[in-house]
Amino acid sequence: MKRLRYFFRNWRNWLGPVLLVYLAALAIAAPYLAPQVDPSNPQTILRIGSSTDSLPHPPSSIALLGTLSGQYDVWFTLIWGLRQAFQFGLLVTVATAIFGIIYGGISAYFGGIVNNVMMRIADAFMAIPIIAVIVFFRQIIVIILTNFGAWFSIDRGVFLQGPNIEFQQFLLDIDPVMWSLILFSWMPYARLVNASILRLRNVEFITSARSLGAGHLRILLRHMLPNAISPEIVLAARDVGGMVIIQATFAFIGLGGYSPWGDLLARARNWVVGPGGNPLVYWWTYIPATLLLILFSVSWNFLGDSLNERLNPRKVG
């Protein structure tokens, strides 16, 4: 009880979970807050006016947060983008954390030359910049699609043709940002769990488990990982928001990936500075998306801080 009082005494420990519950509730209620035109074919961007109207319109009863150039509804994109942000951030973070924890745990458990080789491989992966991987994936997909007969137009997009339309569509649906982050973001988890398990290898309860005949898998999963997992949980909580920011950034600069918030900000970039240099003339085109992106990321960081406070055995109350 004393520890709980100490935990909730810090406002950041409860603010993060409260904000995330609120954001999750908004994401769950998206069909009611921003109804889809065609529920069987959901979308994250909705046009509510004429596509030839290039002037953003301020908030109104029709568009609660106004529209962008081309009359795209800002409110609709923010709400459905929130659901997509949760899906993307959690999927990428869980996938990278699971692989990194298993990789680093196996490496540390066997130690010696196995550990040295596996950790050097992890170091090599850390030296590869994510942006180079994304560009590489995009080019590979373009080359394969071109060889299958697809052709590209800057103005009109991608056109699929030939006998393998289904396979071409499958390639087109691949998110290079998501797969690049999954394949090249697991190394911090591997290094964290590796260091923790190296310290645990020769402690008394691990030695006792070996002497009682416990197998490698049981020792690793039952005894070592549960005692080394706390730093990885904290890192994962903080990574969810970071992954979404990275996704939005790459979508904003046009390097691929699908981020409704990144696309919204990319469409709004020409309206940040209004007439006379006033940045508030068209504030609804970029401020709501920016604030929601920051709030989403900060909430996960606060959650990570609160988990660190709760799981850290050195914190006493």
Tell me: do 253 and 191 sit in the same domain.
yes
Tell me: do 212 and 116 sit in the same domain.
yes
Answer whether 118's CB lies under 8 Å from 106's CB: yes
Number of domains in the chain: 2
Tell me: do 220 and 76 sit in the same domain.
yes
Q: How confident is the model at residue 316 (pLDDT cuts 50, 70, 90)?
A: very low
Q: How remote is the C-alpha of 74 from its chain's centroid? A: 21
Answer whether 255's CB lies under 8 Å from 131's CB: yes
Tell me: do 247 and 210 sit in the same domain.
yes
Tell me: do 238 and 266 sit in the same domain.
yes
Tell me: do 269 and 221 sit in the same domain.
yes
Provide the whole-model pTM: 0.84
Among the ranges 23-37, 160-174, 188-202, 246-260, which has the highest mean pLDDT value? 23-37
119 C-beta neighbours (distance < 10 Å), count: 19
- 217-244 tens-digit pLDDT: 666 666 666 777 778 888 898 899 999 9
Q: Which domain holds residue 154?
A: 129-183
Tell me: do 231 and 263 sit in the same domain.
yes
Question: What is the rounded distance in angstroms from the CA atom of residue 242 to the CA atom of residue 296?
Answer: 9
Tell me: do 108 and 224 sit in the same domain.
yes
**Residue 317's pLDDT is what?**
46
Considering the domain boundaries, does residue 94 fall inside one? yes
Segment 132-155 mean pLDDT: 70
Two tokens, residue 280: 């508030």
Share of the chain above pLDDT 90, in %: 30
What average pLDDT is seen over the chain?
A: 81
Which residue, chain included where needed, has tokens 């807050």? 33
Q: Is residue 243 classed exposed, middle or buried when 0-12, 13-18 and 19+ CB atoms within 10 A define those classes?
A: buried
Considering the domain boundaries, does residue 317 fall inside one? no
**Residue 149's pLDDT is what?**
61
